[in-house]
Amino acid sequence: MINVPKGTKDVLPQDSYKWQFVENKARETAKVFGASEIRTPTFEHTEVFLRGVGETTDIVNKEMYTFNDKGGRSITLKPEGTAGVARAFVENGLSNSVLPAKLFYITQCFRYERPQAGRLREFHQFGVEFLGAKNADIDAEVIILAKTFLESVGIENVVLYINSIGCKECRKKYEQALKEYFNSNYDGLCALCKDRLNKNPLRILDCKNDDCKKINEGAPKILDYICEDCSNHLETVKKLLDVANVSYKINPNIVRGLDYYTRTVFEFVSENIGAQGTVCGGGRYDGLIAELGGQDVPGIGFAVGIERILMLLENTNKQIENPNKVKVYLAPMGENELVKAFELTAKLRKEGISADFDHMGRGIKAQFKYADKIGAKFVAVIGSNELASGVVRVKNMQEGTETDVAFDDLIEFVK
Ligand code: ATP
Ligand code: MG
């Protein structure tokens, strides 16, 4: 037997409807906020992520699936959605059409990580990118979109953390302070953070290493360093979240893993699913589009991990109704009856009613068992009497009631 590669998973029929449920909610929520779907390739030139995600991030440092294709080009499977969307935005000149461009995507992502609950090598994200607006109201909108989505799937016990990581200008001062602090704690840092210290000390705050985490607790806090504009920006976001009745906590330790973030950053975290509790992360990235060769177009977005959403729903015992159950099951008792069942099923399906009949030559008892397994709502046995009279007895499996219905009235009856 050949197994799936480590860190990947099959989504089986008994679970796929849950995925559809979450994806449908994502699409519906995006729609009411005026966002349209964008689909970008599964792989990009590696450079898109080197520049768009950043060379000092965990993703670029150790998590990318990068390989040379047969033409010798360096290709990378997308580890996240934003960089590809930004590349497409620039390449297709979307900044010349309507702004803000409100985009969303649902995509698989690939990261070479140590697989564990809620951490896979192939996983899925629902993400949103709003490009072109620099004002703080759109930050609030994007955060509220994420919250609306989480609520629509039935997730309520999550904490929203927000923070500002300032702009290029105020971050310089902050980075200087961080460098001084981490230099005085240099020996305790992990090898990667020692390297980050000179390249991008902010990234150290995002390190998962326990020793680094301890050192991080005493590090200078960004909010003591941000400039007046950045501070006002954050205040507006907070004010609008208050207006929308969205509660949040300011958390100065949220810096996000990606290099291109500026100002607002946020995460939705659940206490219910253990270490992999971050279900959604996002923020403003005013420098990204220019970094990828576009104009100076600001942007903000987030990504939600779909596996983590499903984990949360599982852990909180939220029931999702399976909409794919067969509604009408016809149980023919012989060959002639099977032809009738075949005909009736076709008629029902034409009306958009899911219907099925026996394909296995089973006896009546076994057919009822099968109908029960597939969750059929109505079952009708067709025997020679029914063929002769043109009337079947339809059993409502949920209520246990039985009704005689003419073949011609079957569609109306089950509708
Ligand atoms: P973490 O801190 O858990 O590693 P991250 O900061 O790397 O998360 P992002 O890059 O912000 O995550 O991705 C957005 C969301 O995608 C995360 O909040 C999470 O829900 C999900 N996610 C990220 N990596 C994985 C993974 N390997 N497996 C499953 N879901 C993931
Ligand atoms: Mg990660």
93-151 pLDDT, tens digit per residue, is: 999 999 999 999 999 999 999 999 999 999 999 999 999 999 999 999 999 999 999 99
Closest among 314, 317, 279, 316 to 119, alpha carbons compared = 279
pLDDT of 353 over the 70 cut: yes
Residue 207 — pLDDT band, cuts 50, 70, 90? confident
pLDDT of 3 over the 80 cut: yes
CB 305 less than 6 A from any atom of ligand 1 = yes
Amino acid letter, residue 404: D
Residue 297 — pLDDT band, cuts 50, 70, 90? very high
Residue 4 — pLDDT band, cuts 50, 70, 90? very high
**What distance, in Å, lies between the first and last C-alpha atoms of the chain?**
45
pLDDT of 349 over the 70 cut: yes
pLDDT of 58 over the 90 cut: no
63 CA to middle of ligand 1, Å? 12
Contact 414, 353 (CB under 8 A): yes
CB 289 less than 6 A from any atom of ligand 1 = no
Tens digits of residue pLDDT in 12-25: 999 999 999 999 99
Residue 258 — pLDDT band, cuts 50, 70, 90? confident
Cα 370 to Cα 246, 336, 375, 402: the distances in Å are: 47, 21, 9, 19
Average pLDDT for 295-305: 97
285 CA to middle of ligand 1, Å? 18
The protein residue whose alpha carbon is closest to atom 28 in ligand 1 is 119
58 CA to middle of ligand 2, Å? 7
Contact 177, 201 (CB under 8 A): no
Tens digits of residue pLDDT in 146-194: 999 999 999 988 999 999 999 988 888 999 999 999 999 999 999 989 9
